[in-house]
Amino acid sequence: MAQLNPPLGRLLKMGLIGGGGAAFIGKVHAVAGKLDHRAEIAAAALSRDLETSRASAAAFGLTPEQAYGGAESLIASMANELDFVAIATPNYTHAPIALAALNAGLHVICDKPMTTTAKDAQDLIQAVESSNRVFALTHNYTGYPLVRQAKAMVNSGDIGEIIAVRASYTQGWLHAMNPDETPARGAWKSDPELAGPSGALGDIGTHA
């Protein structure tokens, strides 16, 4: 029988950052991280608020004691116990959390987009190159069969010379949001200061 995760011979220990309360993408990272039975969630910062994080712990198979309030607390407390962290938080937090994790010696899996500004991206690239750690950026649609089929058709020349590309990513769950209400999740998406200068293009547009 093949050794599990050689040369470690054990499951990789994952720290999940984000995903508590009404959040969505954290649960996707939790499932993906354990899908091939090579990793386990050892600790999580499911919210910046400790009580919210602990209240969400059971949904991820964790005890309240395995839940931390915020990425900083998780990294400071568990850096020596974890193999990697998965960042599933709002876009504007990706860069500082990734930098903190890399500086603590952790490998990083980060949800798209990498950052919200080119400057932050360049700083993060430099940090990764000097860290000797893996930084993986997730673009989940690259694994879809139809996307792979389209790529193969383009590469083989089946559809001829490409002179223009038109793509769309229709997502309307924020369409009914009222100015005087705060939705259970995703409020930052409508705040230009937090969403970044590219707005929706850097968020759901990065899928296309």
Q: What does the pLDDT profile of the chain (208 residues) look like in tens digits? A: 567 899 999 999 999 999 998 888 999 999 998 999 999 999 999 999 999 999 999 999 999 999 999 999 999 999 999 999 999 999 999 999 999 999 999 999 999 999 999 999 999 999 999 999 999 999 988 889 999 999 999 999 999 999 998 888 777 777 777 777 777 777 788 788 888 888 888 888 888 7
pTM above 0.95, yes or no: no
Q: Helix crossing, 71-78 with 94-103: angle to 10°?
A: 10
Domain C-terminal end among 107, 140, 173: 140
| Tokens encoding 152 | 């193969």
The total number of structural domains that make up the chain: 2
Identify the bridge partners of residue 108 per DSSP, sorted by sequence position.
Answer: 85, 135
135 & 174 share domain: no
Q: Tokens 């010379």: give the residue.
A: 161
Q: Domain containing 162: what range?
A: 158-206
135 & 164 share domain: no
Asked if residue 179 belongs to a domain, the reply is yes
43 & 126 share domain: yes
| Tokens encoding 187 | 């409020």
Q: Which of 86, 69, 87, 131 is nearest to 105 (CA)?
A: 131
Asked if residue 35 belongs to a domain, the reply is yes
Q: Tokens 């959040």: give the residue.
A: 23
